[in-house]
Amino acid sequence: MKNIFVAFFAFVSFGGACQDNKNKKNKNSMIQQGADIYSFRVKSLDGGEIDFATFKGKKILIVNTASECGFTPQYEKLEELYKTYSSNLVIVGFPSNDFFWQEPGNSEDIRKFCTNKYHITFPMAEKVKVKGSDMAPIYQWLTQKKYNGVMDENISWNFNKFLIDENGHLIEKFNSRVSPMSDEIIEKIK
């Protein structure tokens, strides 16, 4: 009887692990090859939703952010860029704690930090994973050519920037050291 119980327990435990892996696969396979950015909806820091379909006709700059990073002052330049080019540009920040735990706060902490310290008005998503096996689907799309149709990229650190054109297609990635107000970015936005 004891052996039957152990065997049943192992079967149930293993079956649950398989189901968890199946759920992870399903979550990650929600991305379709050839999809554009407009198929994504993500939770926002304020509890609402960011629907990328509402950005059709504008360029989109997607940035993985962190509150305790050497590049955190780029928030100021991101806000300046957003205000300067808001007629044809949307910036979406994605807080992430993937690099030396530089975004430890919860949504409310991050929202307060962005609002109080940098007066951020552009959309901010909830904290996500931008690397690893549980990478957010939108970051899988941004970093894998099989989904975005353009390039394979890695997220090297906080404040990597991805530029999407007015038709929802990825056009370029900029590393952390490229300032949001650099000529390199502004030329692509105009």
Alpha helices (H) along 61-180: 74-84, 107-118, 137-143, 145-148
Active-site residue 69, yes or no?
Answer: yes
Find all residues with CB under 8 Å of 80, minimum gap 6, and list them.
180, 181
Of 69, 150, 181, 186, the active-site residue reads 69
Rounded to the nearest 10°, the torsion over CA 64, 71, 106, 172 is -10
Strand 49-51 and strand 41-43: the pairing is antiparallel
Query: Do 100 and 68 form a contact (C-beta atoms < 8 A)?
Result: no
Euclidean distance between CA atoms 16 and 184, whole angstroms: 49
Euclidean distance between CA atoms 102 and 135, whole angstroms: 17
The token duo for 111 is 């929202």
Residues identified as active-site: 69
